[in-house]
């Protein structure tokens, strides 16, 4: 009961797994949720002080079970990291309603459902919520009409929840990752895409999963005790460049 507990969704890989590891390093317990059972159980087997939750954040019954199982295990919930997400890219005319709904169900509905379900426990601990959006929620782009819209909605939902839950001492913030070097991104980004991103990012590189985790864990922790309703773009300066062309830089 003395050790803080976080729920991390989409915890089997990528930013969710890196966040889990940093929380563990800092003495937290972590309930790791993912719908990919094999990947989740493999990672859980390598770690202590974790609880595997094979659940789907878009399913209200699964989300309710997530909270019950976590509280039974840890006795408390101090932070919720809404990281689970899906991405389906393609031209706008090829985005069927089925694709649109698949993206929205996980990326937006999942954040709403998890936040609503965990709020009663966070009231007890005066805990925190960190939502993971995307630079695509701040800047429009081709090929991601559903993804970008879902992440923009997550940013607004963050502010709505921060405004309403603050009176209970619950802080709600959002991290908007820019290009991040993951196994998936490196597999699908061509050398031309990588170079184009490098040219557009003032720091001239991709971020790492650990760099994202550092900001997420800070916002979830007491070190950010007076920070709420904020959107932090962890993007190497990508968002700050606006429409400036790399060729115009000195």
Give catalytic residues, as residue numbers.
Answer: 147
Q: What angle do CA 127, 31, 19 make, to 5 degrees?
A: 75
Q: Are 21 and 49 in contact (CB under 8 A)?
A: no
* Rounded Cα–Cα distance for residues 11 and 213 (Å): 12
In whole angstroms, how far apart are CA 229 and each of 34, 167, 190, 194? 26, 13, 36, 32
Find residue 80's DSSP bridge partners.
7, 129
Judged by phi (left if over 0) then psi (alpha if -120 to 50, else beta), residue 236 lies in left
Sequence-separated (6 or more) residues with CB below 8 Å from residue 198:
204, 205, 206
């Amino acid at each position: 009961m003395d050790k803080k507990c976080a729920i991390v969704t989409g915890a089997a890989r990528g930013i969710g797994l890196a966040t889990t590891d940093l929380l563990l390093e800092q003495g937290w317990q972590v309930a790791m949720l993912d719908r990919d059972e094999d990947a989740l159980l493999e990672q859980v087997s390598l770690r202590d002080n974790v609880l595997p939750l094979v659940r789907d954040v878009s399913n209200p019954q699964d989300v309710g079970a997530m909270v019950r199982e976590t509280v039974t295990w840890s006795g408390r919930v101090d932070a919720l990291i809404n990281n689970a997400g899906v991405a389906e890219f393609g031209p706008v005319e090829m985005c069927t309603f089925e694709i649109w709904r698949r993206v929205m169900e996980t990326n937006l509905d999942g954040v709403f459902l998890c936040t609503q379900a965990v709020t009663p426990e966070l009231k007890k601990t005066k805990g925190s919520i960190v939502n993971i959006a995307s630079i695509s929620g701040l800047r429009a782009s081709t090929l991601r009409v559903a993804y970008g819209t879902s992440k923009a909605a997550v940013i607004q939902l963050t502010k709505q929840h921060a405004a309403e839950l603050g009176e209970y001492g619950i802080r709600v913030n959002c991290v908007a990752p820019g290009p991040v070097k993951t196994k998936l991104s490196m597999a699908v980004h061509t050398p031309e895409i990588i170079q184009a991103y490098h040219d557009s990012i003032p720091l001239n590189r991709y971020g790492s999963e650990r760099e994202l985790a550092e900001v997420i864990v800070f916002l979830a922790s007491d070190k950010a005790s007076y920070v709420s309703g904020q959107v932090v773009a962890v993007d190497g300066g990508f968002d700050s460049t606006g429409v400036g062309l790399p060729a115009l830089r000195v």
